[in-house]
Amino acid sequence: MSCMKRVEYGYVSSTEQTIIEELSREEKRMQAIIYTKPHCQKCRWTVFKLSRVMPVQTITADADDYERFRKLNYRSMPVVKIYKADGTHDEWCDLQVDKIKQYTEAI
DSSP 73: T
| pTM given for the model | 0.74
Could you report the per-residue pLDDT of 22-80, keeping only the tens digit for each?
A: 766 555 578 999 999 999 999 999 999 999 999 999 999 999 999 999 999 999 999 99
From edge to edge, which strands make up the β-sheet containing 89-93? 56-60, 31-36, 79-83, 89-93
Q: What is the DSSP pairing of strand 31-36 with strand 79-83?
A: antiparallel
Could you report the per-residue pLDDT of 52-65, keeping only the tens digit for each?
A: 999 999 999 999 99
Identify the three-state secondary structure at position 13.
strand
